[in-house]
Amino acid sequence: MSVTSNSRPLRMRTCAGCRERHPQSEMIRLRYVKDRMVIVRSGDGTAGRSIYLCPSEGCWHRALKRGRLIFKSAKRDRAVVHLDPREREQLLYRLKSYTREMGSPN
Ligand SMILES: [Zn+2]
């Protein structure tokens, strides 16, 4: 029997933009907590209402195109968030700065 440092199976998540499935660890997670959106590392935190996105601007634009984000939890609890154009711009800006930070080593 072999023991690896990461014995958990690779969790796959669907991107809200391109609808492709990727390993959770490679994705950006948006959580919806107490009526606000929080961008977290995909491995962080407990379950909750979330959206997963590729670290790619094209996916963010596709996900935000309709001005509506649907956050879902494993318990099928969901929250629909409507964004006006200004809020969309703000979220894109936050995603951009977040991925810039991700790119730098800890
Ligand atoms: Zn994507």
| Structural domains of the chain ordered from first start | 12-103 (3.30.1230)
Cα of 50 to ligand 1 centre, how many Å? 15
Which pLDDT does position 87 carry in this prediction?
94
Could you tell me the mean pLDDT of each successive run of 10 residues in the chain, 106 residues long? 61 94 91 86 71 95 93 86 94 93 64
Using alpha carbons, select from 37, 49, 40 the residue that is nearest to residue 83: 37
Cα of 105 to ligand 1 centre, how many Å? 23
Using alpha carbons, select from 41, 43, 38, 50 the residue that is nearest to residue 75: 50
Using alpha carbons, select from 28, 43, 44 the residue that is nearest to residue 91: 28
Cα of 48 to ligand 1 centre, how many Å? 20
Structure tokens belonging to residue 43: 């491995």
